[in-house]
Amino acid sequence: MALNLQSVGRENGPHTLQWTERDTLLYAVSVGAGQDPVSELSMTTENSDGLPQRVLPSFGVVMGQQVLRPDIGDFDRSKLVHAEQHFELHRPLTATGAASVTAKVSAIHDKGSGALVWTETTSMDAGTGEPLLTARSASFIRGEGNFGGERGTAVTWEAPQSKPDYELLMPTRPEQALLYRLNGDRNPLHSDPKFAAQGGFDLPILHGMCTFGFSCRALVATVADGDSRRLTSMGGRFSSPVWPGDALTVHIWKDNEDVLFRTLRSDGTVVIDHGRAKLSGPAGSD
């Protein structure tokens, strides 16, 4: 088994993807929205009086992941974990819509103990051709390193020494992964104990993108004043697994429109590190 290093630069797509209000509502609920049934009604209902439906920004990444990256070779799928995720929205997502999506392998880095595979996904409005969302994702594949490739450059990130401006506790549910997988990510690492054991886990773990969605909710609720349209970009590094039922705490530092964040398990372990986000416009603006 070996990675195909010649896959760098290859593309899959463009493919036209459509989504409905049901898809965006399901996504919001699958990342915990609605545990307080009032504060997130705009993301969990489509017919509440005076509340037009809004979309959690991280949904755009999940929608784009339906277009698979080009084949990168043969490897043990149980050794792959989601390492990083970043996105930039060029305009707010609508509750229903269609996009033309292309996925490209942008780099494969040699990390010694494994390979870090970067994929870039671009989504264009299917009707107008205007840019909608750009996403960058990294997967770490254990045992596929030491092929003599470049290690890649590290991005500097330091947690502020000051107390977080916001500290939000967000419980997950025991069935959280089973609910989240209905968005389309059916990787058995998150549902099948035998497959999870092959990857070195005692039990199925929560999708990294589910934890990412919880963190996105925390950012919207705090620094974006509940207005999901204000969060224009977000990214972070998955540093430790989360199990369904874990409680998450999101630490957030705000400097005008720039935001840093970290997400931790209840035992204090950092599970999303190097978190960055950006805001645009005052609350309630279009």
Query: What pLDDT does 176 receive?
Result: 98
Query: What pLDDT does 68 receive?
Result: 86
Instruction: List the catalytic residues.
Output: 185, 190
Q: Give pLDDT tens digits for 108-164.
A: 999 999 999 999 999 999 999 999 999 999 999 999 999 889 999 888 888 899 999
Q: Give pLDDT tens digits for 87-104.
A: 999 999 999 999 999 999
Q: Which amino acid is at 148?
A: G
Query: What pLDDT does 285 receive?
Result: 44
Query: What pLDDT does 159 receive?
Result: 85
Q: Name all domains of the chain by residue range, CATH numbers in brackets.
A: 9-279 (3.10.129.10)
Query: What pLDDT does 256 receive?
Result: 86
Query: What pLDDT does 281 receive?
Result: 67
C-alpha–C-alpha distance, residues 115 and 79, integer Å: 11
Mean pLDDT (whole number) for 245-266 = 96
C-alpha–C-alpha distance, residues 82 and 272, integer Å: 11
Residue holding tokens 């969060």? 231
Residue 213: Cβ-neighbour burial (10 angstroms; 0-12, 13-18, 19+): buried
Confidence band for 284, pLDDT divided at 50, 70 and 90? very low
Query: What pLDDT does 154 receive?
Result: 80
Pick from 233, 241, 210: nearest CA to 26: 210
Query: What pLDDT does 286 receive?
Result: 42
Query: What pLDDT does 199 receive?
Result: 84
Handedness of CA 89, 91, 94, 99 (dihedral sign): negative
Mean pLDDT (whole number) for 252-274 = 96
Query: What pLDDT does 138 receive?
Result: 96
Q: What is the mean pLDDT of the chain?
A: 93
For the chain, give the secondary structure using H, E and C. CCECHHHCCCEEEEEEEEECHHHHHHHHHHCCCCCCCCCCHHHHCCCECCECCCCCCCHHHHHHCCCCCCCCECCCHHHEEEEEEEEEECCCCCCCEEEEEEEEEEEEEECCCEEEEEEEEEEEECCCCCEEEEEEEEEEEECCCCCCCCCCCCCCCCCCCCCCCEEEEEECCCCHHHHHHHHCCCCHHHCCHHHHHHCCCCCCCCCHHHHHHHHHHHHHHCCCCCCHHHEEEEEEEECCCCCCCCEEEEEEEEECCEEEEEEEECCCCEEEEEEEEEECCCCCCC
Model pTM score? 0.93
pLDDT at residue 46 greater than cutoff 80:
yes
C-alpha–C-alpha distance, residues 187 and 209, integer Å: 12
Q: Exposure pattern of 53-74 as b/e (b: 16+ CB <10 Å)?
A: bbbbbbbbbbbbbebebbebbe
Q: Give pLDDT tens digits for 195-223.
A: 999 888 999 999 999 999 999 999 999 99
Confidence band for 269, pLDDT divided at 50, 70 and 90? very high
